Amino acid sequence: MFLLGMVLFAVLILFGAEPAQAYLDPGSGSMLIQSVMAIVLVAAAFIGTMRERIKSFLLKLIGRNPHDKEQEKNIDS
Amino acid sequence: MISSLHADNGSFRDPAGFVFFKGDRVLRAVSKAGVPGYEAARDSSIYDLLIRDGLLLPHRELESGAVVVDGADYILEQPRLPMVSYPWEWPFSMLKDAALLHLYIMEKIVPEGFWLRDANAYNAQFDGKTLRIIDTLSIGVRPPDTPWVGYGQFCSNFLAPLCLAAYSDIKTMGLWRTFINGFPLDLTRRLLPIRALLKPGIFMHIAMHSYFQQRSEQRENLELSPAPKAATMSERALVSLIRSLRHTVEKITWQSKSPIWTDYAALRTYEKDDLRRKSGFVEEIIGFVNPGLVWDLGSNTGEYSLLAAAKGAFVVSVDSDPACTESLYKKITRGPSAKRILPLHMDLSNPSSPLGWAGKERKSLAERGPADLTLALALIHHLVFSCLVPLPKVAEWFSEITRHLVIEFVPIEDPMVRVLLKDRNNEFHPYSEELFKSSFQEYFTIAREQRLNNGRTLFHLEPR
């Protein structure tokens, strides 16, 4: 995630940012980094979902139900 | 214009409104610039929701014409806080709770189309029971797709001081008195150890954030951005950012390691009988004075603060050991029955002074008094021998901050004084019970005294 963040940072730092209307100075750097982090956070969520899907797919391939472990846990408790 | 009204010196920055006092009443004027945000939040019940959940100080909109102030479209009345406090005085967990309070509110109101217009630590105040946002006008309408305007302020007001306190040193909380509008992120980045900067949340919100701030500043100074492009952020992304901040803050913990706190029981020079006499004396004076506001200076574990609070007083419990105030804060907020106690960290040889614009924006300790009753138990020898303040000056200071005083005189033969003097080669200010009495009698009358078996004496001093 750091690497992704740094790459996006390097690309986006090339653009400037205009602060929104506010009584306190939000700081253009503070506004810009949020846009970058938005991409990082959304990308992280996407990667997380994809990882789960791939894991579940691979487990199915080897004939194991990915929910087996959870079910076992529930039975134990 | 405000004539019989008295404007608060700490609320002039926001053009949306300001606070003023009418006698004992606390009123908030909503200026033209604040009207759209106020009306939108009021009409969509956002205020009701936050007040109901104990996140926002309640207010009542006064009828038009009830109080007339130039430039005010609405006047709101709010309950008076027993005492305003500042982040450099707060226990670590109070600052952390104030940070989380801002984030809980953001998570609640961003999906409703609102946000916090700022993230100013001074807007969170602990009234002895609840920590709430006191600035009604901090809630505003979020322009669509806009990143949080309070993000930079949040990181410098909360994240930076919390990280430094937890990962560098709790004493860095004292930096607040220099950087009263929040810690600079570049300084924070340089002071934090690598192990802290490698934590993902701190890396993003402090290290990268600081780098972005510096780069933008450089570009602005060099006028490299003549036609800047607006930064945008979807609601979903903003909520993710707030959650990321919340997870980062939740993980920051400070482990207090105070020898005074952990070995306190062993250090005590009291036997059971004396302890009973001391508690009885303090209780009796509290019952006699019936104070609304008690300051317990040098409160240590808060034993006597709890006693005064149990008698119905609002107690400000001050100690120079951050571990003591932290422990008391946790005891009163996480315990089963909340007491009205505000624990504050302060070095009494350098108490909070006036700060900010014109030296009036943030008040000194004395300006927030006087207390109806001050407890100064097992304190005077620390002021004279550790802080090197002569007895007459100690007496003068107490006369400026309190009406009644319960003070414990600790004789020079006391084992605790001997510990303080062991390497002093008899070089210290004059100190005796006679000098103590004559110094305090300049300003107070001795109403009662109680001798203890350990050689110490308790005095109840009344104003002259």
Question: What is B62-98 written as a DSSP string?
Answer: PPTTSS--TTEEEEEEEPPPS----GGGS-HHHHHHH
> Do B148 and B238 form a contact (C-beta atoms < 8 A)?
yes
- Residue B258: pLDDT band with limits 50, 70, 90: low
In eight-state DSSP terms, residue B458 is: E
Residue-wise pLDDT tens digits, B133-144: 999 999 999 999
ipTM of the complex: 0.79
pLDDT at B259: 59
Point out the residue among A1, A23, A34 whose CB comes nearest to the CB of B231.
A34
**Considering only residues 23 to 42 of chain B, which have any Cβ-Cβ distance to chain A shorter than 8 Å?**
33
CB atoms within 10 A of CB B22: 15
Q: Note whether B247 contacts A: Cβ–Cβ < 8 A.
A: no
Q: Taking the alpha carbons of B203, B205, B206, B208 in that order, is the dihedral positive or negative? A: positive
What is d(CA B78, CA B464) in angstroms, rounded to the nearest whole number? 35
Q: Phi and psi for B445 in degrees, rounded to 5?
A: -110, 140
Please give the full DSSP string across B228-255, using - where no structure is assigned: PPBP---HHHHHHHHHHHHHHHHH----
> Do B258 and A46 form a contact (C-beta atoms < 8 A)?
no
Coil, strand or helix at B408: strand
CB atoms within 10 A of CB B254: 19
> Do B10 and B361 form a contact (C-beta atoms < 8 A)?
yes
Q: Do B216 and A16 touch (CB under 8 A)?
A: yes
Point out the residue among A2, A26, A42 whose CB comes nearest to the CB of B152.
A26
What is d(CA B323, CA B319) in angstroms, rounded to the nearest whole number? 9
Q: Angle between the B209-221 and A28-61 helix axes, to the nearest 10 degrees?
A: 140
Q: Which amino acid is at B316?
A: V
Point out the residue among B153, B208, B232 whose CB comes nearest to the CB of A33.
B208
Coil, strand or helix at B41: helix
Q: Do B212 and A22 touch (CB under 8 A)?
A: no
**Burial class of residue B384 (count of CB atoms within 10 Å of its CB; 0-12, 13-18, 19+):** buried
Q: Please provide the average confidence, as pLDDT, over all residues in chain B.
A: 93
CB contacts, 8 Å: A33 with chain B: 208-209, 212
Is residue B180's pLDDT more than 60?
yes
Question: Strand B457-463 relative to strand B402-409: parallel, antiparallel, unpaired?
Answer: antiparallel
Count of H-run helices and E-run strands, chain B: 19, 16
Is residue B202's pLDDT more than 90?
yes
What is d(CA B26, CA B76) in angstroms, rounded to the nearest whole number? 9
Least Cα separation, residue B227 to chain A (angstroms): 8
> Do B329 and B343 form a contact (C-beta atoms < 8 A)?
yes
Residue of A nearest to B204 (CA): A37
The closest alpha carbon to B375, from B454, B268, B300, belongs to B300
Query: A25 is written with which tokens?
Result: 């100075």
Query: B94 is written with which tokens?
Result: 């109070």
Residue of A nearest to B212 (CA): A29
Least Cα separation, residue A60 to chain B (angstroms): 31
Is residue A76's pLDDT more than 80?
no
Mean pLDDT of B228-246: 88
- Residue A48: pLDDT band with limits 50, 70, 90: confident
pTM of the model: 0.89
Is residue B292's pLDDT more than 80?
yes
pLDDT at B219: 82
> Do B399 and B371 form a contact (C-beta atoms < 8 A)?
no
Q: Phi and psi for B280 in degrees, rounded to 5?
A: -60, -45
Point out the residue among A23, A33, A40 whose CB comes nearest to the CB of B212.
A33
Choose the mutation target among A3, A7, A15, A28 for the interface with B, i.e. most B CBs under 10 Å. Answer: A28
- By residue count, chain A amounts to 77
Residue-wise pLDDT tens digits, B446-456: 999 999 999 99
The closest alpha carbon to B298, from B416, B404, B192, B378, belongs to B378
> Do B93 and B48 form a contact (C-beta atoms < 8 A)?
no
What is d(CA B454, CA B320) in angstroms, rounded to the nearest whole number? 25
Mean pLDDT of B141-168: 97
pLDDT at A21: 59
**B335 Cα distance to chain centroid:** 20
> Do B18 and B7 form a contact (C-beta atoms < 8 A)?
yes
Is residue B169's pLDDT more than 90?
yes
Least confident of A46-50, B81-85, B123-127, B377-381: A46-50
Q: Do B13 and A23 touch (CB under 8 A)?
A: yes
SS3 for B182-207, per residue? CCCHHHHHHHCCHHHHCCHHHHHHHH
- Residue A17: pLDDT band with limits 50, 70, 90: very low
Least confident of A6-10, B103-107, B177-181: A6-10
What is d(CA B201, CA B207) in angstroms, rounded to the nearest whole number? 9
CB atoms within 10 A of CB B189: 21
Q: Do A32 and B212 touch (CB under 8 A)?
A: yes
Mean pLDDT of B389-404: 98
Separation in Å, CA B458 to CA B101, B105, B268, B280, B450 = 42, 47, 16, 11, 5
What is d(CA B409, CA A73) in angstroms, rounded to the nearest whole number? 64
Q: Do A35 and B232 touch (CB under 8 A)?
A: yes
> Do B48 and A57 form a contact (C-beta atoms < 8 A)?
no
